[in-house]
Structure 1
Amino acid sequence: MMEMRKKYRWLYILPFIWIALSILLFITAPDLDQLVREEGQAPVPEAILLP
């Protein structure tokens, strides 16, 4: 039983890594409203519009 815990210890840490990574990405994400105001809206390529 103890060997199993040592072997899968990273499974207990993994959710905390995901939470920390998602918070970091959320904080460092660019402000899309400001980006669209400065650069303008990106055009959609013609190939996507065709059925």
Structure 2
Amino acid sequence: MLSKDFFWQVIRQRPSSTALHECRHCGYTMESDTGECPKCGSREIASYDLE
């Protein structure tokens, strides 16, 4: 059985990133803004803050 403390620690965790990075040319979604799309090579990367 899991303790209450462990349960609340898991629930309170937030995602490591609250931003979405997407190539404006092909729509590929990336976890971080690398400056260039790995799929099509475009440098037009849009960043959206999801908070």
TM-score over 0.5 for the alignment?
no
Q: TM-score, normalised by structure 1?
A: 0.26
- Structure showing greater Rg: 1
Q: TM-score, normalised by structure 2?
A: 0.26
Q: Which has the higher strand share?
A: 2
Q: Which has the higher helix share?
A: 1
Q: Which has the higher contact order (CA 8 A, sep 6+)?
A: 2
